[in-house]
Amino acid sequence: MDFLPTLWFILIAVLWTGYLFLEGFDLGVGMLMKVFARDEKERRLLLNTVGPVWDGNEVWLITAGGATFAAFPFWYASLFSSLYIPLVFVLLALIFRAVAFEYRGKVHHDTWRRVWDWAIGIGSLVAAFGIGAMLALTTTGLPLDANGDRVGGPFAWFTWYAVLGGMAVVAFCLLQAAAFLALKTDGDVRLRARRLVGRWLAVGLLPLAVWAIAVAVSNGKWFSWVLLAVAVAAAAVAWAANLRGREGLSFLALGAFLLLGSSTIFSGVFPVVLPSTLNPAWNLTIANASSSPYTLGLMSIVAAVGVPLVLAYQAWTYWIFRKRISTAHLPEPHDFAPAVGRGDAAAAAAGGS
């Protein structure tokens, strides 16, 4: 077994899992802005629970993409070009969502805020669905030819697996977001979020479990079932902890479920990184898709320094912003008068840049 490609396969699986664990709840909070928050104050509360951290979370996606490019260029090239259309939607969704986070509160106007609320809600939904579909397809296969290019047209990727993966990530994000809100807020929102977790836990985890089971069945590795059994136990812990109001434990147990689920999936497909549904001989594997040992070695050194550092300072960030917040903590939104002479309105109107 090639040591370095295996190491990098594991590292990329870790990056994707880290991405889903962290951005999972901020994508979910974004979706909940439209369906869970009852008024403007609650929408702002939701937004500010993830305000300081969402951008750092998103870098996990960029790093997962970049690491795939560096370590497995053939995997990166085939996966991203095959999923051209869905990834365009993911990109647009991420663009709107990012800009919305920053711009929403910058103008004190209802329509302005409503437009950006939609951008956050739909952006989060589309991004989660698209990423989920992509991950499901890389574990179940795409119609690739010998060169690794997609055949069958722009929508050849659209299969039940894509839908399943999309639903799995969307549902998990929503659930994780509810658990996060129960942990991070206070007052009415906290209670309602906790109730949401209790009611929807099984439904929220089901599609992810189905995806993991599908991979386990088709790859036939015995330890898949062990991992899945532990995952179910983690889900039970999450449910029980939530019932007793132990929100931190509940949140972490959901994270454990994700970790076990993704371990089942990635270890199940190993050493294949992207199967071809047309001919198994055209599968991309850690052997034929990877970079040279020199590059992998170099990147391993960088990762050995970089990843612990990232974990350390991101953990510190969460520690800094660990306090629960409630609607009462939010400063009043302010609008400002332009610094132009008020007695001189005509000149002011003409002086704009």
**Judged by CB, which is closer to another protein: 52, or 248?**
52
Smallest distance from the beta carbon of 20 to another protein, in angstroms?
17
d(CA 313, CA 239): 30
- DSSP notation for 265-325: HHHHHTTEEE-BSS-GGG-EETTTS---HHHHHHHHHHHHHHHHHHHHHHHHHHHHT-S-B
Phi, psi angles (nearest 5°) of residue 334: -120, 150
**Judged by CB, which is closer to another protein: 39, or 220?**
39
Smallest distance from the beta carbon of 321 to another protein, in angstroms?
7
As a whole number of angstroms, the longest Cα–Cα distance in the chain is: 80
Smallest distance from the beta carbon of 219 to another protein, in angstroms?
26
Smallest distance from the beta carbon of 335 to another protein, in angstroms?
8
Give the CA distances from residue 83 to residues 48, 125, 225, 269, 313, in Å, rounded to whole numbers and listed in that order: 33, 18, 30, 19, 33
Enumerate the H helices of the chain as residue ranges: 3-35, 40-50, 54-71, 73-82, 84-103, 110-140, 160-184, 188-219, 222-243, 247-269, 293-320, 345-350
Smallest distance from the beta carbon of 76 to another protein, in angstroms?
5
**Judged by CB, which is closer to another protein: 67, or 214?**
67
**Judged by CB, which is closer to another protein: 203, or 311?**
311
Cβ proximity of 144 and 278 under 8 Å:
yes
**Judged by CB, which is closer to another protein: 203, or 298?**
298
Smallest distance from the beta carbon of 243 to another protein, in angstroms?
25
**Judged by CB, which is closer to another protein: 150, or 194?**
150
Across 278-293, b (16+ Cβ under 10 Å) vs e yields beeebbbbbeebbbee
Cβ proximity of 143 and 152 under 8 Å:
yes
**Judged by CB, which is closer to another protein: 59, or 249?**
59
Cβ proximity of 127 and 90 under 8 Å:
yes
Smallest distance from the beta carbon of 339 to another protein, in angstroms?
3
Whole-angstrom Cα Rg for the chain: 22
